[in-house]
A and B are shown apart, each in its own frame.
Chain A
Amino acid sequence: MARKRNPARLIVALSIAAVLAVFLLYTSIAGGGTPSISPSELAGQQGIVSLAGRVQPGYKGDSYGTGLRFRLRDIKGDSTKRVIVLYKGSVSDQFKVGREVSVKGELRNGIFVAVKDSLVTKCPSKYTAKKST
């Protein structure tokens, strides 16, 4: 091994290459993040997506029983599109009309059927940290 050339440089270069390789491999297999869709964009989406919206007045049902039904609209913008969500699983105490939520699931026969326990409620902006899921 040529002592004159600093092996440290070689290690650094190889490591960067290795990290990049692992990274690219992972992201090509697992995808770069999950798309977060708003209700107005939901129509026609296939497969499991992450739906983010604001809870509209009038929800009913038991998430631990036959399911909680609530409606979501876009957080930003004026779209009037409402999506009905059927959800089973844990619901945070922060869940209320007007809160922003995010839930995973897929559109089936016009209703967004959610993955169990995937409901995440955002805290209202004034307060600090409380996670819900």
Chain B
Amino acid sequence: MPELGRAALVATLGLALYALLAGSIAAWRGRRRLALSAQNALMAAFGTSIVASLVLVSALIRHDFSFVYAAQHTSRELPSGYTISAFWGGQEGSLLLWLLILTGYATAVLLVNRRTARDLVAWVTPVLAAVTLFFAFLLVAVATPFATQLAPADGNGLNPSLQNPYMMAHPPLLYLGFVGLTVPFAFAMGALLARRTDERWIVATRRWTLVAWTALGVGQLLGSHWAYEEVGWGGYYAWDPVENAALMPWLAATAFLHSVMIQEKRGMLRVWNHLLVVMAFSLSLFGTFLTRSGIVSSIHSFTQSSIGPWFLGFICIVVFGSLALVFARLPLLRSKTRLESLASREATFLYNNLLLVALTLTILWGVAYPILHEAVLGESRIVGPGYYNFFLRVFGLPLLLLMGIGPLVAWRRASLRSLGLTFVWPAATALATGLVLLALGAGASIPGLIAYTFSAFVLASIALEFARGTRARRALSGGSWPAAFSALIGRNRRRYGGYIVHAAIVLLAIGIAGSSAYDTVAERRLERGDTLVVGDYRLTYRGLEEREAANATEIRAVLGVERGGERLGAVEAGKNAYTAERQVSNEVGIRSDLLTGEDLFVIAEQVNADGSVYVRAFVKPLVNLIWLAGLVFVLGALITLWPDAREQRRLATRYEGAEAPARP
């Protein structure tokens, strides 16, 4: 069986190589059948990747420990869900997942686009093939998942902290995001190679980019939720380089998504868009490199392995190659449209771009600086959360404000008078909110207060947009308010879906501000019957409970919870001792208050032999808004993604004239 897996990977390598070479020649020389053949090869590579993946998954399920990978990442007692998710738990498996998703995306995108835009697709194929070739090469020559050994009796099992539903979904979603960014990149480079100056590549990839961006966002939220619940130090984001590795491409992709809207509507910012997509894709490769090469002294250090230099080399090729291509095609990309006013919606998009890029670059510097410093001066350095938090405020707060300003400003040119009128209500709401919060004591944290005030502004401006739009719709075609509301969204999916996504980001900002700027913490050693007071809560230590689970012994400290004299049940916090993996994990107790969105977060830091426990407890206000934001985010993204028959028809007629009709 491992031979089949290896053969499948070699076949993938060969097919990718063929697709790259044949595809390039076909596009350069204009050979139709060769171009089709190259596309078929790339699609066949999806088939061979599936075979390789099935071989690995079956080895995991069958507990075939003659596969080194199965022995390293599973054990006989491991629940079957986690046995399957061990596929992406280790380095080789995660590379195979990258390859599988990449060839899957490539196949889908080629199938959809191959009959139209043939010249574009002809160049997109070799670009996709080149990336596929890289990953196939790594899997065949550097980090194979199909290494074999004399089968031991049992495997090492999965790291207990990964035995959590969030960790099952987190990597695949992140990879759907990382890999998905290859599609707009390939189309952007393909358009340059094909010397096309039109928006075809943007139209073709808009939904793919949205899906990748959404997946990347949700994947990060899941990761944060996992860190919050499972790792349990009281936070959800530590500015760890591996966390930043996913944040950076997401920020760049956010800038890209907004910027292409400008290109579609006004034909501007063409060069920006190509640079942004190169940045987003390079950062997603860089992110994979960071998490896979062990180069960064991060608590998340994965294996110290040999794939690092290969990744670095490939990233350099990608960056320099794409920049050279953009530079070579610069004359084609010059747009004729000019920015008419600094107070127009185009201008706010430009400011938005600049802030997002600035934030991304500062995070990149924070990650790269220790590596460079050590490489050049031999001295080890650490960049702490202080650096990141500072720049998050400096760039993030203005970005938050812009989310509210942008929708209120008109295209091309906004007169100051009309600006003033449209701003009045949101600004008044924000000011009122700020004053009320100040009176309630939010002045304890100035950045927090500012975040809340800006959030009020944005939410007010979004609500106003929905209200005014519904009223206009109703004035136009009558009907009830709900009917007008859904008609409004139905006919303007991108705009109003976008507003919902913005609302999600605001919820995220409020949740983050509340739980980090206004949280309370208390800790002490408790004997049976002792109490700990944290915020408005009163915790009483009742005793220890011990129980046996499938693959672990669980010990829990049970604490009674009271607030304002009212009994609120109990919360349990403690540790799990995993038998096969011989590891102990921290299991925190969280009590979420659905009304206020706050969490009572309890950590049993130490369980002593005499039955006493050392407990640390947090009250985290509004933290559940963060997870709620995830749901709203997906809702907004779905609305934006929803196919619009009218728009599809319009785009089809736009391009059918210029492109060769389908051949029999």
Contact = CB atoms under 8 A, between A and B. Distances in A.
A7 B342 contact: yes
Interface in A1-53: 3, 6-8, 11-12, 15, 19, 22-23, 26, 30, 32-38, 50, 52
Contacts of A37: 380
B111 to A, nearest CB: 34
B380 A11 contact: no
Interface stretch (B13-21, B26-34, B187-195, B384-392): B384-392
Contact of A12 (B233, B240, B354): B354
A125 B606 contact: no
B225 interface: no
B351 interface: yes
B350 A26 contact: no
Given A7-B342, A127-B159, A131-B240, A50 B382 contact: yes
Interface string A106-133: 0000000000000011110111111111
A56 interface: no
Contact of A131 (B90, B156, B227, B302): B227
A125 B302 contact: yes
Given A3-B338, A128-B159, A131-B300, A30 B240 contact: no
Contacts of A130: 159, 161, 231, 299, 585
Contacts of B468: none
B351 A11 contact: yes
Contacts of A123: 159, 299-301
A11 B342 contact: yes
Interface string B371-382: 001000001111
Interface residues on A, range: 35 or more
Interface in B158-189: 159, 161-162
B233 A133 contact: yes
A7 B338 CA distance: 8
A64 interface: yes
Interface in B346-405: 347, 350-351, 354, 358, 361-362, 365, 369-370, 373, 379-384, 386-387, 390-391, 394
Interface string B145-157: 0000000000010
A7 B382 CA distance: 40
B422 to A, nearest CB: 22
Contacts of B350: 8, 11-12
A79 interface: no
Interface of A: 3, 6-8, 11-12, 15, 19, 22-23, 26, 30, 32-38, 50, 52, 62-65, 90-93, 102, 120-123, 125-133
A50 to B, nearest CB: 6
Given A93-B584, A102-B382, 6 more contacts: A15-B358, A26-B387, A35-B382, A36-B382, A90-B605, A125-B303
Contact of B162 (A3, A63, A129, A132): A129
Given A128-B162, A130-B161, A34 B384 contact: yes
Nearest to A8: B339
B161 A129 contact: yes
A64 B382 contact: no
Contacts of B492: none
A90 B387 CA distance: 24
A88 B454 CA distance: 40
B369 A33 contact: yes
Nearest to A10: B342
B606 to A, nearest CB: 5
A101 B354 CA distance: 38
Interface string B556-593: 00000000000000000001000000011110000000
B387 A126 contact: no
Contacts of A11: 342, 347, 350-351, 354
A64 B381 contact: no
Taking each of B231, B380, B586, which has the highest tally of chain A beta carbons within 10 Å of its own beta carbon? B380
Nearest to B305: A125
Contacts of A92: 586
Contacts of A34: 381-384
Given A32-B381, A102-B382, A125-B304, A93 B586 contact: yes
Contacts of A7: 339, 342
B630 interface: no
B22 interface: no
Interface in B55-83: 72
B358 A19 contact: yes
A63 B299 contact: no
Taking each of B161, B391, B585, which has the highest tally of chain A beta carbons within 10 Å of its own beta carbon? B161
B383 A33 contact: yes
B605 A64 contact: yes
Taking each of B268, B301, B373, which has the highest tally of chain A beta carbons within 10 Å of its own beta carbon? B301
B382 A6 contact: no
A121 B361 CA distance: 28
Interface string B518-532: 000000010000000
Given A120-B299, A123-B300, A129-B242, A33 B382 contact: yes
Contacts of A12: 350, 354
B217 interface: no
A129 B170 CA distance: 12
B390 A129 contact: no
Nearest to B358: A19
19 contacts: A3-B338, A7-B342, A8-B339, A15-B354, A23-B365, A26-B391, A30-B387, A32-B381, A33-B369, A34-B381, A62-B606, A64-B606, A64-B614, A92-B586, A125-B294, A125-B301, A126-B72, A129-B161, A129-B242
A7 B242 CA distance: 38
Contacts of B362: 19, 23
Contacts of A15: 351, 354, 358
Given A30-B390, A120-B299, A36 B162 contact: no
Nearest to A4: B338
Nearest to A9: B339
A23 B297 CA distance: 24
Contact of A30 (B161, B304, B386, B586): B386
A109 B217 CA distance: 49
A32 B240 contact: no
B71 to A, nearest CB: 12
Nearest to A26: B390
A128 B302 contact: yes
B420 to A, nearest CB: 21
B446 interface: no
Contacts of B614: 64
B95 to A, nearest CB: 14
Contacts of A32: 369, 373, 381
A33 B381 contact: yes
Contacts of B387: 26, 30, 33
A79 B365 CA distance: 32
B381 A128 contact: no
Contacts of A125: 294, 301-304
B426 interface: no
Given A19-B358, A30-B386, A125-B294, A6 B299 contact: no
Nearest to B161: A130
